[in-house]
Amino acid sequence: MGTDRRAFLKQTGLILVLSGAAAQAWDFVLAGEPEKAPTYKLLDHWWAMAMDIRKCIGCGNCVRACKAENGVLLEPDCFRTWVERYHVHPDDPGHPEVDSPNGGYDGFPEKYKAGDGSKNFFVPKMCNHCAHSPCVQVCPVGATFESPDGVVLVDKTYCLGCRYCVQACPYGCRYIDPRTETVDKCSLCYHRITKGLTTACCEVCPMGARKLGDLKDPKDPIHDFLKDHMIHVLKPEMATGAKAYYNGLDGSVR
Amino acid sequence: MESLLHSVQGYIYPDELQLQWSILIVLYPFITGLVAGAFILASLERVFNVEAVKPTYRLALLTALAFMIVAPLPLQLHLGHPERSFEMYLTPHTTSAMAMFGFVYLWYLMVVLVLEIWLDFRKDIVLMARASTGLKRMLYRAMALGSGNISERSLQIDDKVGKFITIVGIPSAILLHGYVGFIFGSVKANPWWSSALMPVVFIFSAMVSGIALVMLMYQFVSWYRRTAVDMPCLDTIARYLLYAFIIDFSLEMLDLVHRIYEADESFKTLDFMVHTKLYFSQIILQIIAGTLLPIGLLALVQIVKLTEQARRAIYGAAGLLTLVGIFAMRWNVVIGGQLFSKSLLGYTTYKMGLWSREGLLPAIILLILPFVILYILVQLLPPWDKARDAEVPRAQG
Amino acid sequence: MREWLRDREHMVRMGILFAGALAVFLVVRAVMVPKDFGTYGHFRTGALADNMAHPLVFAGRQACGDCHDDIVASRKGSKHEQIGCEACHGALEAHASAGDPSTLKPKLPDGKTICLVCHKENVAKPAGFPQIDPKDHGDGGPCTSCHNPHHPEIS
């Protein structure tokens, strides 16, 4: 009789303790705190990009690296990032000639003659990971969202493929992946930056024209970048809270 | 893909090569527009006591229901994952106008249309249950929810509740189609769409298309059944069509004049597009054939005294032109908004498939389907009865 | 009560039908909404983990330095010092994380073409950037015959 009661109490105690532990573990699971990256604290970061037009040489390394890193299709209309070449006549700055042959994946064959009085430069483009993203605003189900650390991501298992977000993005950086029939876009190499690595495009940029920045890190060089240059974002009139900050962006850039 | 690349003019962002919203997305606002418009016409009699249009009341409701049943189909065909569309009911994102769809649709279908039709037809349903046998009898009894009470008092209650539902139905119809306009009008990234006028234009063009549809349906059905057309009814419908058209046209002109006057950075790009890629669908089909011509014809009837035969011919022509014009308007909004690049520096082309999931043939099938459903509905719930027919005075030459 | 109900029973039945449908909907909803939805915002929290779970393809320059510190040292002070190894040598995560990296030795970039990716002259490249016309520069041989890619300056 005595042993039975003791056994019963022990059993109950075990169950209570284990369920307490299980409850705690369940909390972690619910909070999405991944055991996969146990040292990454979501709320300690606010990611942005520093793009320096004056440094971009249009080599296309970033475009190729992004497709390789993220398994993006080589189709001519599936780009998470691309590079544009601008050819601006000084007397007609409102009408630049722009091209992006296969997004810059194969570089830029020379098209123009030196010394014709024009202004020419490259502009790398990507998702601006907007703080007030219009694409997140219009998603009917919450399949695209801004993470607490400032990255606009897609939930591929939840996306309906309605394409409303593609319509709502002012920068044209979203596309439909025909393999999953869901939307796809730059994820700021979330799988890399949460492990302390930089994005694939920044990793291979030979000029440092693209640099990942963490606005919540006081020691991050992006703060000096923003302070020491004349900074512009794309389409500021749309008030998207774009976080891809450009140095040297010409007024003709669209 | 290669041919698409070659038909690009100027510069487009690389991801903009293919259009995302196809003819199916043109079809959806066209269909819900017909639903909303047909319903508003029906409500004219019920709520605003416009007695003249009474002969079309039930037909308008059944037409609205037939189109409403088909309405979600183009959307489902378009989605990358239609099996996930239920997520709109599970986790609707309240900042997205599109998230409203599931609830507005369900509300309108079940509460406004089905309930109202049920209440209006209930007496006939019970009578038909009593008069039929076997499977048909079971069906009618189910439709009557097993209740056989058609006493005066119960019918009075039906009428009161029905009137209330119609009153609620009017803002519901405005919401059903207005939110579609807002889906486009609230996209700041797209200068062709972004406008406060968009929901209003959509609503009024919906009314125009719905009224035109009922007008055509009534003429067709009368011809088919070899019954007399109630001319005062038809004349009244045509007048309301004219009024709605004038408002709709004024709104669209306001938008156009506003754009031309302000001439913001998007103007040149859009203007070029309208004069080239959209010339046939916008200038010829929507404006000239689809708006000015029908307005002219309908206005003519108000000014000049014409014979019944002439009026019926004009109404038929005007009705058809109107439907073509309103379809063209949806086309110009949806497709037009995607033909130009958001860089405002170039254009792409819309390549519509034939047999593909979002191609022309599925679209045509989806346009025919509501009429098939309407035929079935009309067999089940005849919108006319001999007693009511007898009320209609014979038309005067 | 019976009086009141008699002429309204069809309404009551319809009402019950609607209430029933609503109840079914609420139950289905309670079951089907993902349990981790909404913790940080209007999204499924698990999507964060999904996005973190992609495999690496590029190793990152830190990984190279762990074994090839001699190369890293040789690049000190050169104009190419800040360039990531994989910018020229391609994606190397498979090589870096292999049990025996020598089994997955990356192919050496072609000395004739790799340099031109950046250095072939183009009107759109920034003015101060070293660019050459391969027809006018050198003797047509590979760039590596005169330039060490890890320390390209010719003294």
Each residue of B6-25: pLDDT tens digit? Answer: 999 999 999 999 999 999 99
Rounded CA-CA distance B78/B136 in Å is 36
Q: How far is B293 from chain C (nearest CA, A)?
A: 46
Q: How far is C140 from chain A (nearest CA, A)?
A: 20
Contact residues on chain A for B79, CB-CB shorter than 8 A:
160-162
Contact residues on chain B for C10, CB-CB shorter than 8 A:
122, 144-145, 147, 149, 154
Each residue of C144-154: pLDDT tens digit? Answer: 999 999 999 98
Instruction: Say what percent of chain C tops pLDDT 70.
Output: 100
What chain B residue is nearest to C11 in terms of C-alpha separation? B158
What chain A residue is nearest to B338 in terms of C-alpha separation? A167
Instruction: Say what percent of chain A tops pLDDT 90.
Output: 80
Instruction: Say what percent of chain A tops pLDDT 70.
Output: 85
Q: How confident is the model at residue B191 (pLDDT cuts 50, 70, 90)?
A: very high
What is the pLDDT averaged over residues B116-136? 92
Alpha helices by DSSP H, chain C: 2-6, 9-32, 46-52, 61-67, 69-74, 86-89, 93-97, 114-119
User: SS in 3 state form for chain B?
Assistant: CHHHHHCCEECCCHHHCCCCCCHHHHHHHHHHHHHHHHHHHHHHHHHHCCHHHHHHHHHHHHHHHHHHHHCHHHHHHHCCCHHHCCHHHHCCCCCCHHHHHHHHHHHHHHHHHHHHHHHHHHHHHHHHHHHCCHHHHHHHHHHCCCCCCCCHHHHHHHHHHHHHHHHHHHHHHHHHHHHHHHHHHCCCCCCCCCCCCHHHHHHHHHHHHHHHHHHHHHHHHHHHHCCCCCHHHHHHHHHHHHHHHHHHHHHHHHHHHHHHHHCCCCHHHHHHHHHCCCHHHHHHHHHHHHHHHHHHHHHHHHHCCCCHHHHHHHHHHHHHHHHHHHHHHHHHHHCHHHHECCCCCEECCCCCCCCCCCCHHHHHHHHHHHHHHHHHHHHHCCCCCHHHHHHCCCCCC
Q: Could you tell me which of B357, B323, B369, B349 has the C-alpha nearest to residue B24?
A: B357
Helix (H) or strand (E) holding A7: helix A2-30
Decide if C109 contacts C88 (C-beta within 8 A).
Answer: yes
Give the pLDDT of residue B48: 85
Q: What are phi and psi of C116, to 5 degrees?
A: -70, -20
Rounded CA-CA distance A28/C154 in Å is 57
Q: How confident is the model at residue A248 (pLDDT cuts 50, 70, 90)?
A: very high
What is the pLDDT averaged over residues B187-202? 96
Bridge partner list, A244: A49
Give the pLDDT of residue C114: 94
Q: How far apart are the first and last CA of chain A?
A: 84
Helix, strand, or coil here: C103? helix
Residue length, chain C? Answer: 155
Q: What is the DSSP letter of A235?
A: S
Contact residues on chain C for A207, CB-CB shorter than 8 A:
129
Contact residues on chain B for A166, CB-CB shorter than 8 A:
15, 20
Give the pLDDT of residue B286: 97
Q: Does C123 touch chain A (CB under 8 A)?
A: yes
Mutation to test the B interface, candidates C10, C13, C33, C40, most B Cβ within 10 Å:
C10
pLDDT at B144 over 50: yes
Bridge partner list, B340: B347
Q: How far is B95 from chain A (nearest CA, A)?
A: 6
Q: Which two tokens stand for residue A67?
A: 């497709």
Give the pLDDT of residue B389: 53
Contact residues on chain A for C84, CB-CB shorter than 8 A:
203-206
Decide if B320 contacts B219 (C-beta within 8 A).
Answer: no
Helix, strand, or coil here: A14? helix
Q: How far is B288 from chain C (nearest CA, A)?
A: 46
Cβ contact (<8 Å) for B157 and C18?
A: no
What is the number of CB-based contacts under 8 A between chain B and chain C? Answer: 38
Bridge partner list, A88: A119
Q: Which two tokens stand for residue A221?
A: 């060089």
Of B76 and B389, more confident: B76
What is the pLDDT averaged over residues A178-186? 97
Give the pLDDT of residue C3: 77
When the pLDDT of each residue in chain C is averaged and rounded to a whole number, the result is 92
* Among the partner residues C7, C32, C34, nearest to B154 by beta-carbon distance: C7
Virtual torsion, Cα B254, B256, B257, B261, nearest 10 deg: 130
Give the pLDDT of residue C4: 79
What is the pLDDT averaged over residues C69-89? 94
Count Cβ neighbours within 10 Å for each residue of C115-134 and write b for 16 or more, e otherwise: bbbbbbbbbbbbeeeebeee
Rounded CA-CA distance B217/B316 in Å is 10
Q: What is the DSSP letter of C55?
A: P
Rounded CA-CA distance A107/C119 in Å is 12
Cβ contact (<8 Å) for C52 and A145?
A: no
When the pLDDT of each residue in chain B is averaged and rounded to a whole number, the result is 93
* Among the partner residues A77, A159, A170, nearest to B189 by beta-carbon distance: A170
Mutation to test the A interface, candidates C117, C119, C131, C150, most A Cβ within 10 Å:
C117
Cβ contact (<8 Å) for A77 and B96?
A: no
Q: What are phi and psi of A77, to 5 degrees?
A: -130, 25
Estimate to the nearest angstrom the gap between the alpha carbon of A182 and the chain centroid.
Answer: 17
Q: How far is A103 from chain C (nearest CA, A)?
A: 15
Contact residues on chain A for B341, CB-CB shorter than 8 A:
172
Each residue of C114-123: pLDDT tens digit? Answer: 999 999 999 9
What chain B residue is nearest to A86 in terms of C-alpha separation? B11
Q: What count of other Cβ atoms lies within 10 Å of the Cβ of residue A74?
A: 9
Each residue of B268-327: pLDDT tens digit? Answer: 999 999 999 999 999 999 999 999 999 999 999 999 999 999 999 999 999 999 999 999
Contact residues on chain B for C20, CB-CB shorter than 8 A:
none
Rounded CA-CA distance B258/B281 in Å is 21
Give the pLDDT of residue C2: 77
Q: What count of other Cβ atoms lies within 10 Å of the Cβ of residue B284?
A: 13
Cβ contacts of residue B9 below 8 Å, gap of 6+? B346, B347, B348
Decide if A234 contacts A242 (C-beta within 8 A).
Answer: yes
For A94, B192, B200, B267, the CA distances from B261, given in Å and listed in that order, are 19, 15, 21, 10
Virtual torsion, Cα C32, C34, C39, C41, nearest 10 deg: -80
* Among the partner residues B89, B115, B157, nearest to C8 by beta-carbon distance: B157
Tokens 């393809």 locate to C57
Q: How far is A212 from chain B (nearest CA, A)?
A: 23
Decide if C81 contacts A206 (C-beta within 8 A).
Answer: no
Helix, strand, or coil here: A152? strand
Cβ contact (<8 Å) for A76 and B97?
A: no
Of A217 and A31, more confident: A217
Rounded CA-CA distance B33/B67 in Å is 10
Cβ contact (<8 Å) for C42 and B91?
A: yes
Decide if A33 contacts C49 (C-beta within 8 A).
Answer: no
What is the pLDDT averaged over residues C99-106? 88
Give the pLDDT of residue A116: 87
Give the ipTM of the model, two decimals please. Answer: 0.92
Contact residues on chain B for C29, CB-CB shorter than 8 A:
89-90
Rg of the Cα trace of chain C? 33
What chain B residue is nearest to A101 in terms of C-alpha separation? B14
- H helix and E strand count, chain A: 7, 11
Q: How far is C98 from chain B (nearest CA, A)?
A: 36
- Interface partners of chain B (CB pairs < 8 Å, 3 or more) are A, C
* Among the partner residues B86, B144, B161, nearest to C11 by beta-carbon distance: B161
Q: Could you tell me which of B76, B73, B63 has the C-alpha nearest to residue B214?
A: B63
Give the pLDDT of residue A226: 98
Contact residues on chain A for C94, CB-CB shorter than 8 A:
none
Q: How far is C55 from chain A (nearest CA, A)?
A: 8
Is the CA virtual torsion B59, C11, B174, B376 positive or negative?
negative
Cβ contact (<8 Å) for A30 and C122?
A: no
What is the pLDDT averaged over residues B125-135? 91
Helix, strand, or coil here: A176? strand
What is the pLDDT averaged over residues A58-73? 97
- Range in A85-94, B90-99, B312-321 with the lowest mean pLDDT: A85-94
Q: How far is C31 from chain B (nearest CA, A)?
A: 10
pLDDT at A80 over 60: yes
Cβ contact (<8 Å) for B98 and A172?
A: no
Q: Does C91 touch chain A (CB under 8 A)?
A: yes
Contact residues on chain C for A34, CB-CB shorter than 8 A:
48-49, 52-53
Rounded CA-CA distance C44/C133 in Å is 53
Helix, strand, or coil here: A184? strand
Helix, strand, or coil here: C51? helix
Helix (H) or strand (E) holding A168: helix A164-168
Rounded CA-CA distance B388/B392 in Å is 7
pLDDT at A215 over 90: yes
pLDDT at B388 over 80: no
Each residue of A108-160: pLDDT tens digit? Answer: 999 999 888 999 999 999 999 999 999 999 999 999 999 999 999 999 999 99
Contact residues on chain C for B91, CB-CB shorter than 8 A:
33-34, 37-38, 42
* Among the partner residues A78, A100, A140, nearest to B92 by beta-carbon distance: A140
What chain A residue is nearest to B77 in terms of C-alpha separation? A162
Q: At what angle do helices B152-185 and B198-225 cross, to 10 degrees?
A: 130
Give the pLDDT of residue B84: 96
Rounded CA-CA distance B378/B380 in Å is 5
Instruction: Say what percent of chain B tops pLDDT 90.
Output: 86
Give the pLDDT of residue A24: 39
pLDDT at B62 over 60: yes
Cβ contacts of residue A87 below 8 Å, gap of 6+? A96, A97, A98, A111, A112, A118, A119, A120, C124
Q: What angle do CA A24, A25, A31 make, to 5 degrees?
A: 90
pLDDT at B85 over 70: yes
Cβ contact (<8 Å) for C49 and A34?
A: yes
Decide if B344 contacts B269 (C-beta within 8 A).
Answer: yes
Residue type, B393: P
Give the pLDDT of residue A38: 62
Each residue of C27-40: pLDDT tens digit? Answer: 999 999 999 999 99
Each residue of B335-375: pLDDT tens digit? Answer: 999 999 999 999 999 999 999 999 999 999 999 999 999 99
Q: How far is B110 from chain C (nearest CA, A)?
A: 9
Rounded CA-CA distance A51/A124 in Å is 8
Tokens 């009593």 locate to B130
Q: What is the DSSP letter of C37?
A: B
Q: How confident is the model at residue B149 (pLDDT cuts 50, 70, 90)?
A: confident
Cβ contact (<8 Å) for A96 and B345?
A: yes
